[in-house]
Each structure stands twice: as structure tokens, then as C-alpha cells.
Amino acid sequence: MLRSSLPYCLASALAAASLGGCLAADPADLGHGEDAIIGGVPAFSASLDAIGSINKLRDSGKFTQRCTGTLIAPTVVLTAQHCVEAEEGDPPLTPDQLEFAIGFDSVAPKRRIKVRGFAAEHSLDEGGFVGLGTDVGVIHLAEPVTDIKPLPFASFDPARVGERFSMVGYGVQDTDDSPSDPFFSKRLTGSATLRGPASGKVLEQMFGSFEGFLRHLGDLRDFDEDEATLRQLFDEITLLDNEEAVLGGAPGDANGCFGDSGGPIIKNVGGKLTTFGVASGVFRGTAQPCFGAVYDVFGPTSRAFIEREVACPLIPAAGTCDGDVAVRCADPNEGAFRPLRNDCATLGQTCGFDPATHAVACVDPS
């Protein structure tokens, strides 16, 4: 399912273990997002067109599928942080390198929308399943989408543990990611179970206990350490409290995989399709490419970031200067997220940054 160009790593969780930063060292073995939702079915319906493909401009000069995103406002697409950031060693992404493709087929979409800019949540930049802290980003479109109803989003609710959700993403149903495959580049959906609370040990939620994890080693790749190291991994691979949750891996579940990055988990709530998280990371499987998935589930940090970006698109957290005008976003303590413009020239000053607060301010001209 998750179709990112990035491999899924467990960087921070494994840093102290013998596996090092990533689960696989050979680039040929990393699986650069060439798999899709495993066990899913095609999602043809136009009622799901708020969920589209995030395509990246490749060296060939063509845009090809990179991640999945969800329209949550006419000009705002919700995705994963790592979908709007370049791979290690590459130059930063620019807006002209991405597009939002609407429709069932990412290769032949109904419409392609250019990107004005993007942002990622950086107040929590460490920890979490893939080592990025909160793995949430947004894309701001160059023009509004007015003929598709955006999906609402909701925060994690521990009362929903054990419930079934639908994953949605682009790609193929199995390991044969070939243009000849009838489901290549297509939007798929699959059902998965929310395994536990948004905290705790990932492997414990997936397998119930350390002994259960050992019994399932044959279902997982990359875990070939001695028992003491496996115990260390069992204890150290943890979720970011209130921000991440485990889905999939249970009998009857579809499983997210490398190509579903940024794709939503959704559920019909009160007659409205609602997204409850974005796909972040997976374990690599044996019989199937991936086994279980971790989603960012819009805890307090990521939800505040999303709401802020919808209200104040592309205004940095520290604010910015527009000539002599200090532009910033008000926070809920000031009533609500909303853009503010303070004309410093009326004070005989200009816009600058306060070295004490590292935020935009009116300062004396130099």
C-alpha cells in the first residue's frame, strides 16, 4: 500500500541495538516503496476522490506516484512528513517537484493540481516509530478544489481500540509492482484492526507478548539476532505517546506497505467519512512484503499543527516579514489560529526577529 520513495526505518528505536539505524543496509534490499496495500481491493468510487496520489517529478521528466494524501480543505492535503522531505543526501524538495493527482489511477488521473508549498510538523522531531517524532505534513495547493468535499479529521479515541478501519493508498495488491499489473498505480483500500492504545511497545501490541513475538519471527524479516537482543528490540521499539498507533497484522487484516505513505485510515462516523491518521511506517514481512503498520493518529501536537496550517497556510511558526509588516499566526490562547499582520512602520520600526524569542517582531531599523 504505502507507496513512498523512502524505505521504512526504525532509526531512533534501534539506534542502541545491533541493527543500527535502519533494518537493511543494502540499498537494493530496502524496498523503495514499490509495494501497495497487501490484501486490499480496488477503490474506484468517486466518493473517495478526496484521497489522491502525491506524485513526484522524476529524473525522466515525468511525475510518478510517491505518496498518498487526503484533501482536508479546498487547498490543503494531509500526508506524512517524510512525503514532503527529500531523501537523505538529496537536495530539498521544491513545490514544482510535487503534484496532487485526483482520481482512481495515479498515472491517468482525472485532474492534476500544482503545489504552492508544503510544511511538516517539527516541534517533535525525535522518537516515534520511524525516528521523526510526529510524521505529519501538509501540502498547500496552488488552486482550490471546489468539486470534491474534503474529509474531516478526528483525533485518536482509545475507545476505538479493536475496531476496524479502512486504509487507503495507491499501488498494487502484491509484490509484482509492474505496469502490466491491472492494479498498478491504482487506489486500493483494505480493512485493518486498531491494535492498541497510542502508546507502548509496538511488538507487544502486534503479538501480545515477547513469547508471541518469538513465535512469529518467521513472519518478519530482519530479526535474526540472539534472544537477548530481540528482547531489547521488543522493549525499545515504542510508539510516540498519544501520537502513534498500530494497525494491521491481525488475522483477516490487510497490511499497509511501503507505498501507502501519508495515506489515511478512515471510518464512517455519523454518515461522514472521517480520517483518523496518516500512514507512517511498517515492518517488512516474509510471506507478504509488510506486516502491520504504524499511523500518526493526530494527537495534541500533530492536530495543533494541522489546524494551524489550515488557518495560517505557509506562515512559519516563528512568523515572517513582509517588508515592514510582521506576519504571524495567532494561537488558541489568543482566541483561535488566524493570520495576523502588524505594520511596524506605524511605529517608525521595521520587521525583524527578536533574538530572545527567535520570533518575528517590530525592531528598530539598523
Structural domain boundaries in the chain: 1-314, 316-363
Q: How far apart are CA 18 and CA 26, in angstroms?
A: 16
Q: What is the largest CA-CA distance in the chain?
A: 72
Per residue in 330-366, pLDDT tens? 999 999 999 999 999 999 999 999 988 889 999 999 8
Q: What is the rounded average pLDDT for all residues in the chain?
A: 83
Confidence check: pLDDT of 265 > 60: yes
Per residue in 205-235, pLDDT tens? 989 999 999 998 988 888 888 999 999 999 9
> 1-314 in CATH: which number?
2.40.10.120
- The arithmetic mean of pLDDT across residues 24-33, rounded, is 26
Report residue 242 as a C-alpha cell.
498519544
